Amino acid sequence: MRKYKVDFLYRPGLNYSDEKLQELISELQEVASCCFDELPNYQCISGSREELSDKVITIARNDKGKLIGFCSAVLLPIPGMGSIFHLGLTCVLPQARGFGLTHVLTSKVLVKYLLFYRPIGCQWISNVACVLSSLGNCSIYFRDIYPSPFFTTPSETHKKIAETINNQYRKKIHIDAEANFDDKNFVFRGSVKNTVFQKEADDLRFFHRQKYVNNYYKSIINFEEGDEVLQIGHISLFEGAKYFLKRALSINTIERQIQDAMALANLSDAKGKF
C-alpha cells in the first residue's frame, strides 16, 4: 500500500494566488477526469475562483507529491442559522482505491472543519444523492437525517434548510433548474436525468449493505427519471470523531487482513519454488 499525505484546505478561492489556484484546479480536474466519462462543470472542478471560495477540501498526495484524491464540501449560508455543511464531491484515482482513502478524505474534511470552525454545538449538514450506499451511510451515521428509515417526520428546521436549498442553491449543488422538488419526501424529481450522475436501480455496485435501507430509498425515488434525494441532518464534533474513529479502526483491520493474505500468498509462492 502506498503512503499518502492529506492536507486540509479552507475556502482556497479566498486567499490563493492566481497561479496557485490554477495549479490546484488543474490537479483536481485531472483526478476527476478519471472518475467521470465526461467532466461536469460542477463544484471545485468548474475552474473558477468563485466556486472555490465556499469550499472546504481535503486532498491526498502520494509520496511523489502527485494528487491522488480529494473530497470537496460546500458551505451554504442559511438565514438565521449560519452555514450548513453540504457533503460534496469525492474523487480518487483508480490505482489509489481499495485501502480506505475515500473514507480518510471524507472523515478528515468534516472532522477538521468541526474542530477548527464548529467545535461546540451541532452542525447541520445536507447531502444530495441517488447512490443508495451514500444515502444509507448518511441516514445511519448522522443524527436526525430526513428522509431516512429512522427519522420519518421533518422538523421546521429541516423544512427551512430544504426550502432554502431548493430556492437558492440549485446551481451550487448541481440540481437541474427544471427539476421539481417534492417537499414531502425531499426529492428532486428528474434532477440528473441523462447526466453522468444518473444511476440504474439494479446496479449492485451502488447498493448499501443493508437491504432495508435500499428498499426505503428505492420506494421514494425513480431511477429511470433521474431523481435525487435531499437529506438534512446534523452532527457534532464529538459524534463525528467517535464515528470516524470507529470506521478507521475497521479499515485498519481490513488492511491488516489484506497484508496478511498477501504475505501468505508470497510464502506459498516461495514454497512452490523449492
Q: Are residues 41 and 150 in the same domain?
A: no
Residues 6 or more apart in contact with residue 22 via CB below 8 angstroms: none
> What's the pLDDT score for residue 238?
76
Q: What is the pLDDT along the chain (274 residues), one digit of tens a residue?
A: 458 899 999 999 999 999 999 999 999 999 999 888 788 888 999 989 999 999 999 999 999 999 999 999 999 999 999 999 999 888 999 888 777 888 889 889 999 999 999 998 899 999 998 878 888 888 888 999 999 999 989 999 999 999 999 999 999 998 989 999 999 999 999 887 776 565 665 655 666 677 888 888 989 998 788 899 999 999 988 776 655 555 554 434 434 433 443 333 333 333 332 2
Residue 263 lies in a domain: no
Residue 249 lies in a domain: no
Q: Are residues 22 and 105 in the same domain?
A: yes
Q: Are residues 47 and 111 in the same domain?
A: yes
Buried residues in 40-60 as b, exposed as e (16+ CB within 10 A): eebbbbbeeeebbebbbbbbb
DSSP designation for 77: E
Residue 194 lies in a domain: yes
Q: Are residues 230 and 174 in the same domain?
A: yes
Query: What is d(CA 151, CA 232) in angstroms, rounded to the nearest whole number?
Result: 10
User: CATH code at 39?
Assistant: 3.40.630.30
- Count structural domains, the chain: 2
Q: Are residues 114 and 134 in the same domain?
A: no
Query: What is d(CA 10, CA 122) in angstroms, rounded to the nearest whole number?
Result: 19
Q: Pairing relation of β-strands 122-129 and 82-92?
A: parallel
Residue 106 lies in a domain: yes
Q: Are residues 71 and 13 in the same domain?
A: yes
Last residue of a domain, one of 89, 121, 153: 121
Q: Are residues 116 and 186 in the same domain?
A: no
Q: What are phi and psi of 145, to 5 degrees?
A: -75, 125
CB 58 within 8 A of CB 105: yes
Q: Are residues 96 and 146 in the same domain?
A: no
Residue 267 lies in a domain: no
- Establish whether the linkage from the previous residue to 40 is cis, with ω within 30° of 0: no
**C-alpha separations of 258 from 79, 100, 142, 253, 264 in Å:** 48, 12, 29, 9, 10
Last residue of a domain, one of 74, 98, 121: 121
Residue 255 lies in a domain: no
Residues 6 or more apart in contact with residue 267 via CB below 8 angstroms: none
CB 73 within 8 A of CB 36: no
Last residue of a domain, one of 98, 121, 144: 121
Residue 196's domain comprises 122-235
- 231, β-bridge pairs: 127
